[in-house]
Copies of this chain bind each other. A is one copy, B any other.
Amino acid sequence: MKKIITGVGSYLIEQGLLDKTGELILSQTNAQRAMVVSDENVFRLYGERLLNALSEAGIIAESIVFPAGENSKCLQNFEKILFKLSEENFSRSDTLIALGGGVIGDLGGFAASCFKRGMTLIQIPASLLAMVDSSLGGKTGVNLQRAKNQIGSFYEPVLTICDTDLLRSLPEREFKCGMGEIIKYAVLFDRELFYTLLRGNFDLSQVIEKCAQYKTSIVKEDKFDRGRRQLLNLGHTVGHAIEVLSDFEISHGESVTTGLCVITRAAVEKGICGKETLTELSEMLNKYGLTEYTGFSVNDVYDVVLKDKKISGNELTLIVPECIGKCKMIKIQLTQLKDFLKAGGLK
């Protein structure tokens, strides 16, 4: 078992960890009860095994299960979890276990952070995207109408249990989404990883571990996303807009890579990075079946971006590649944004 020390706990990665969940929790907390938050797809596959693992360790478990999909990440479901925790008299030393992908991790994490001002949180990521990104670093949240992650908190899990066996059941499209975030890490930090992914012959567990290490180290530097952590938003400003405008038909990982492509195209136009970066990125997206262009208009994207968390006053922080493996933050005026989007190929 590999272990990465995070801000307040640890990230464990190995095949078969799910069945050891109970003992792993008891080694780090004094939880007597657990509320498992999950979605229908994941719970159908792994719910029973998790409940058994908890019961074997003497942890009394209950569960609350939501429909799969981004629409479950809403204030109503946040409240449903809170009502259930309160009705059942959970204490703040009991644990909430988020078993699922990014949606469940964000929703469950947000509820855990607010119940009695913060109860013990465990993440069990069940998608590639959650394993490399959302189960780490403590960003939680729900969407508000058309605004992605508009409401939320910074609240780190004491334990992230990454059982790579769970990927066996992952649908092809979910795999693609996760690759989106992995490509993002490569563009940000790791030229070598980029070419490894491009060759396509790699050990996925090792790649997950490497991404988790990048994320952990940047979050330790800047927990509250005021400085260097904003680099991780590469592709996300336009990406979130695409997600929202598609009514979440286009998933997070798919949107982020399209956003990354838009921003790289703009960076080439503006002389921030060379053409070869766009060519290499384009090759990568084709390899993994990801999309380079979006049909949404400059004006539509602009309106959604106005809700972005990275706006301060009339300024927006954008992350742009200089080359594969190196990106930088630039601040632009909101008035310049449309021009930037046009340079990125939007109509």
A contact set with B: CB distance below 8 Å: 30, 32, 75, 79, 82-83, 86, 89, 91-93, 113-118, 139, 141, 144-145, 147, 149-154, 224-225, 306-307, 309, 311-313
Contact across chains for A91 and B30 when beta carbons are under 8 A apart: no
Contacts A89-B306, A91-B313 known; list 5 others, CB within 8 Å.
Answer: A30-B313, A82-B144, A86-B307, A92-B309, A153-B153
What is the CA–CA distance of A110 and B302 in the complex, to the nearest angstrom? 29
Q: Is the CB of A311 within 8 A of B91?
A: yes
Complex formed: what's the CA distance from A225 to B117 in Å? Answer: 10
Centre residue among A30, A117, A139 by max chain B CB count within 10 A: A117
Question: Which listed residue (B86, B114, B144, B151) contacts A145, Cβ 8 A?
Answer: B86
- Determine whether the beta carbon of A89 is less than 8 Å from that of B151: no
A-side binding surface: helix, strand, loop or mixed? mixed
Q: Please tell me if the beta carbons of A93 and B141 are within 8 angstroms of each other in the complex.
A: no
Report the bound CA distance from A285 to B324 in whole Å: 71
Q: List the number of copies, as a whole number.
A: 2
A157 to chain B, nearest CB (A): 16
A309 / chain B contacts, CB cutoff of 8 Å: 91-92, 116-117
**A309→B89 CA distance, assembly (Å):** 10
Q: In the assembled complex, how far is the CB of residue A256 from the closest CB belonging to chain B, in whole angstroms?
A: 19
User: Do A115 and B312 form a contact, CB below 8 Å, given A79-B75, A86-B307, A144-B83?
Assistant: no
Q: Give the Cβ gap from A140 to chain B, nearest Cβ, in Å.
A: 8
Q: Contacts A30-B312, A89-B306, A144-B82 given: A115-B154 contact, CB under 8 Å?
A: no
